[in-house]
Chains A and B, each alone.
Chain A
Amino acid sequence: MEIIGSRRKSFLSPASDAAPTIPIYRSAPELEVRLEDFELYAVHRLRVLKGISDALSRGKKPNEMENVVKELLKVHMSHPEASQVMSKDIISHFVLRLVYCREEELRKWFLSMETTLFRYRFLLETSEAQIALMAEFDLPYKIITNAEYENLKDKLNKVARSMNSSADTIYYKAPFEKVPDLVARREVFIMKGYAYVARSQVVSLLVTHYRSHLSKALILTNRKWTSMIREQEKDRLTPIVEALSTSYLGPDYSQPKDFGEISLRDIDQIARSSFPLCMRYLFEKIKEDHHLKHGGRMQLGLFLKGVGLKLDDALAFWKSEFSKKVGAERFDKEYAYGIRHNYGKEGKRTDYTPYSCQKIISSTPGVGDHHGCPYRHLREENLRAALNNMGVANRALEDVMDKVRNKHYQLACTLTFEAVHGASCDQGINHPNQYYSDSKTILESRNNSKGT
């Protein structure tokens, strides 16, 4: 790929007039990319991958996932010029390879999401397109002969009926380890190390190969990155690449508009009714200790900015608490600057936007810290007590604790939201400010419907 200046447009050689199919990204394409598109396309694709990640962690079933993926692609991966859609797809994939090749954790995540994306895109395709794709993969597995089929028919039918589905007539013979997901769910007949994969299940074989190829490609990309590209591009592409993997892509809540401003007077009451647990906890701690360490100041401070607390009110709030411990002068000297800095407009960088759940969950509070995600860090008794204080009890409480045990912290928060507000939250909680605005929405509409 060649990254070029703004003027020239990128183009794809007009070979593919055929029905749109899925690229399998075997090699970097002969394309030119504008510098803005380099980052933009990658961000759009990242929204798709993060959307998939969200949906999976919310336990969406396979048939629901097909729709999720369809929607995500429609919203984020389209392009005003139809001929550019494929380019965008390919370019964004290869840019993200650069971004996500650099560490094991990043590679694992990227591999997992791209593989899932591929799986559902394949399932959304027409039969003809699927067959064409299979040919592109050029898998070394053969369809079983009629004789073999007759021998195994009984067993193959049993497997189909055990899944309450109908039997197929075309079966591929492949080593069992090429379809681990089918084996794990006993959805395939295996004999002497071979799995007999129905035509309708072939996506599992393709996914294994797709995954394996991408995995190797990521290792190679990483080598090239560290040995050559990172240094070569340090003034141009490298800063973009390094920022992309840590960015949160939902609304950034840096410009609160929906609920106007909140004033200091209201803050106590709002904290009780609409703050998520992480912010309630910090809020209570600062009231108690009249101090918060840096991590807590950032997490709560930016959240309050997102919620609509004006700079003057913010300064007044922090000063009133901190001066009880360190005195007004020290507050002005040492802490006020930080708060003003949070409110500064610093271009597009996301450091000064309120933290998303992802960021908060991955933070590592130390001794004396109260930030981070309480579902992750609080001991069980303390978490239970905190939730009780919010009004979450009995069955709802146990459901929340169950999610916590399984490390689904955002789901735990979602269930808490649902229990506290007596309403469902389908999209799940991804951002503390989202919790807040969803909460306000519900409470406002209740106030309005009460009339008078």
Chain B
Amino acid sequence: MVREEAENTREDMVIDGVENGHKPNYEIPDEFNSNYLKTYYDKFFPFAEMFKWMSYGNDRKHPGCDASYFGRREFSFTLENDIYMRFQSFNKAEELEKAIKYQCPFKIDIGPVYSVDPKKRNSYAQSGDNVFRPVERELVFDIDISDYDDVRFCCKGADVCSACWPLMTVAIKIIDTALREDFGFNHILWVYSGRRGVHCWVCDGKARWLDDGQRAAIVNYLHIHKGNEHSIKKVTLVGQTFHPFMGRSAEVVKEFFEEKFVLNQNLFSDEDRYEKILEMIPDESITSELRGKWQDKKRSRDDINVVRWGQLKHLLQSGKQKMLGVRRCVEEIMFTFTYPRLDLEVSKHMNHLLKAPFCIHPKTGRVCVPFDPKHCEDFDPSSVPTLSRVSSHNLQLLEELNMRPLGSGGEINLENTSLGESYRYFKSSFLQPLLKSCKEDIENAHAAKVQQSSNSLSW
């Protein structure tokens, strides 16, 4: 269906300066281009859904709804040339859409919902009761693959490949499970950050109302690595047993480390690499024994990494080892390499800004797409739609496009593009259940309030 219609309608269309009858160039390089960005905002960015999400049910005509809610949310725009506009706020969906289309920001960040409209913050005293402060904010997480640079050898910095991306998968599994099973959260959105990591938005009411101290507690529950830039980020595990959360995570870590990571990263085939591991073992006699064994470059049937890891485990966990510290070393090594590394500051503070989903990453041109954590193993960053690829679908979409009011036109477009899957997932698996729950919360809260005031009136 796609190709035929494209063929038929090509003659009549003018796209971005391409003249009538001219064959459009489908080989547009994957890149970031502010004209394409403008088209993206014009045709693809899901304003209606973003507005519905950020309203958390307050955009309806129920007496329990807070009409000021959306207007108290901070947005920030980063424009071309790094011009930064903070404390942007909008009272209606149309205002948000208009501003974004006009400014064409290279990056859109979402901040907290404040006590008053951020635009009016300077009219409020900084002390006393009427203070300008954040009152609601999603619980958010930011995981960046460059935080693993000391333990991955295939890439560094902004690069990511199929050998190291699975580190993200491990992080997603461990954190997502903890958020749902341990903390009881349900409305969780995982988003590709566009280049080298993922973001997580926890949107339950309870999560949005957490204060900084409570966020810090959650982050500390999940956090393991100590150490800084100067010392190797080694994990130290204490206690006779694992806390159930750690035990559960240990299984994920172990499976990934033993079955994929040691192989993908060739952890034991290179002397520099295995020295790093040997440094983590507190027993000299063991490390020298292993070193000795590994000088021998004998070929074996099985992968050298698997063999050597097996030898290391055997020595550390043998019955002869009395010290718990030595036995624990095996887990410590696995955790050091593959346990999730969070950016703590992002999660701890209510006023921290985070990039909005469905933005385009300026360095890669990729869309920051939401994805299903249950299938995170299948997520491939290299197949995420890019701006130019999305635009090349314009050909068939322009026909169907007309200047419809916000919402109805967009819906049809996105479903048929390469963004379709993410968009559908966002709407049906995340947004719908969230809004249903918000509706219930608002109605219940309102009913309770009415009940309370009618109780107090009756003498």
Check if A161 sits within 8 Å of B241, measured CB to CB. Answer: yes
Check if A162 sits within 8 Å of B240, measured CB to CB. Answer: yes
Judge whether B29 is part of the interface by a CB distance below 8 angstroms: no
Interface hits, A37-62 → B, CB 8 Å: none
A358 to B184, CA, bound (A): 43
Interface string of B222-243 (1 = CB under 8 A from A): 0000000000000000111111
CB distance from A170 to the nearest CB of B (A): 19
Q: Knowing A103-B127, A185-B220, A186-B245, say if A164 contacts B184 (CB, 8 Å).
A: no
Check if A158 sits within 8 Å of B242, measured CB to CB. Answer: yes
Check if A155 sits within 8 Å of B128, measured CB to CB. Answer: no
Check if B217 sits within 8 Å of A159, measured CB to CB. Answer: no
Which residue in chain A gives the minimum CB-CB distance to B228?
A405
Which residue in chain B gives the minimum CB-CB distance to A155?
B244
Which residue in chain B gives the minimum CB-CB distance to A194?
B184
Check if A184 sits within 8 Å of B220, measured CB to CB. Answer: yes
Judge whether B182 is part of the interface by a CB distance below 8 angstroms: yes
Judge whether B210 is part of the interface by a CB distance below 8 angstroms: yes
Task: A163-B239, A193-B184 given; name 8 further pairs at CB < 8 Å.
Answer: A104-B127, A155-B244, A158-B242, A158-B243, A183-B217, A183-B221, A185-B220, A223-B129
12 A-B pairs with C-beta separation under 8 A: A158-B242, A158-B243, A158-B247, A162-B240, A164-B240, A177-B217, A180-B217, A183-B221, A184-B221, A191-B184, A223-B129, A226-B128
Which one of B127, B238, B244 has the greatest number of beta carbons of chain A within 10 Å? B244
Judge whether B310 is part of the interface by a CB distance below 8 angstroms: no
Among B127, B182, B241, the residue within 8 A (CB) of A190 is B182
A190 to B177, CA, bound (A): 13
Which residue in chain B gives the minimum CB-CB distance to A180?
B217
Judge whether B160 is part of the interface by a CB distance below 8 angstroms: no
List the A side residues contacting B245 at CB < 8 Å.
186, 190
Q: Knowing A192-B181, A226-B128, say if A161 contacts B240 (CB, 8 Å).
A: yes
Among A159, A189, A192, the residue within 8 A (CB) of B184 is A192
Judge whether B62 is part of the interface by a CB distance below 8 angstroms: no
Judge whether B20 is part of the interface by a CB distance below 8 angstroms: no
Check if A191 sits within 8 Å of B243, measured CB to CB. Answer: no
Judge whether A267 is part of the interface by a CB distance below 8 angstroms: no
Check if A193 sits within 8 Å of B183, measured CB to CB. Answer: yes
List the A side residues contacting B217 at CB < 8 Å.
177, 180-181, 183-184
Judge whether B444 is part of the interface by a CB distance below 8 angstroms: no
A180 to B216, CA, bound (A): 8
A176 to B214, CA, bound (A): 9
A335 to B244, CA, bound (A): 69
A17 to B218, CA, bound (A): 43
- DSSP class of A's interface residues: helix, strand, loop or mixed? helix
Judge whether A219 is part of the interface by a CB distance below 8 angstroms: yes
Judge whether B213 is part of the interface by a CB distance below 8 angstroms: yes
List the A side residues contacting B183 at CB < 8 Å.
176, 190, 193
Among B181, B220, B241, B247, the residue within 8 A (CB) of A191 is B181
Among B127, B210, B216, B244, the residue within 8 A (CB) of A159 is B244
Interface string of A207-248 (1 = CB under 8 A from B): 000000000000100110010000000000000000000000
A164 to B324, CA, bound (A): 13
Check if B185 sits within 8 Å of A193, measured CB to CB. Answer: yes
CB distance from B291 to the nearest CB of A (A): 30
Interface hits, A151-177 → B, CB 8 Å: 155, 158-159, 161-164, 176-177
Check if A184 sits within 8 Å of B246, measured CB to CB. Answer: no
Interface size class of B (residues with CB under 8 A): 20 to 34
List the A side residues contacting B241 at CB < 8 Å.
158, 161-162
Q: Interface size (A, Cβ < 8 Å)?
A: 27
10 nearest A-B pairs in the assembled complex, by CB-CB distance:
A193-B184, A180-B217, A184-B220, A162-B239, A192-B184, A184-B217, A161-B241, A186-B243, A183-B217, A162-B243
A189 to B217, CA, bound (A): 14
List the B side residues contacting A223 at CB < 8 Å.
129
Check if B220 sits within 8 Å of A159, measured CB to CB. Answer: no
CB distance from A112 to the nearest CB of B (A): 11
CB distance from A188 to the nearest CB of B (A): 9
Q: Knowing A185-B220, A192-B181, say if A158 contacts B244 (CB, 8 Å).
A: yes
Among A162, A183, A219, the residue within 8 A (CB) of B218 is A183
Check if A177 sits within 8 Å of B220, measured CB to CB. Answer: no
Check if A191 sits within 8 Å of B240, measured CB to CB. Answer: no
Judge whether B427 is part of the interface by a CB distance below 8 angstroms: no
List the A side residues contacting B206 at CB < 8 Å.
177, 193
CB distance from B89 to the nearest CB of A (A): 24
Among A103, A163, A186, the residue within 8 A (CB) of B246 is A186
List the A side residues contacting B184 at CB < 8 Å.
176, 191-194
List the A side residues contacting B214 at CB < 8 Å.
177, 180
List the B side residues contacting A181 at CB < 8 Å.
217
CB distance from A319 to the nearest CB of B (A): 44
A184 to B220, CA, bound (A): 5
A193 to B139, CA, bound (A): 14
CB distance from A98 to the nearest CB of B (A): 16
A162 to B214, CA, bound (A): 23
Which residue in chain A gives the minimum CB-CB distance to B237?
A162
A180 to B210, CA, bound (A): 11
Q: Knowing A104-B127, A177-B210, A180-B217, say if A159 contacts B243 (CB, 8 Å).
A: yes
CB distance from A149 to the nearest CB of B (A): 15
Which residue in chain A gives the minimum CB-CB distance to B244?
A155
CB distance from B234 to the nearest CB of A (A): 18
A185 to B238, CA, bound (A): 12
CB distance from B351 to the nearest CB of A (A): 15
Among A164, A185, A189, the residue within 8 A (CB) of B244 is A189
CB distance from A339 to the nearest CB of B (A): 37
Check if A184 sits within 8 Å of B242, measured CB to CB. Answer: no
CB distance from B125 to the nearest CB of A (A): 11
Among A103, A186, A219, the residue within 8 A (CB) of B221 is A186
CB distance from A266 to the nearest CB of B (A): 43
Interface string of A330-360 (1 = CB under 8 A from B): 0000000000000000000000000000000
Interface string of B114-135 (1 = CB under 8 A from A): 0000000000000111000000
A222 to B214, CA, bound (A): 25
A252 to B185, CA, bound (A): 54
CB distance from A151 to the nearest CB of B (A): 13
List the A side residues contacting B185 at CB < 8 Å.
193
List the A side residues contacting B129 at CB < 8 Å.
219, 223
List the B side residues contacting A177 at CB < 8 Å.
206, 210, 214, 217
CB distance from A161 to the nearest CB of B (A): 4
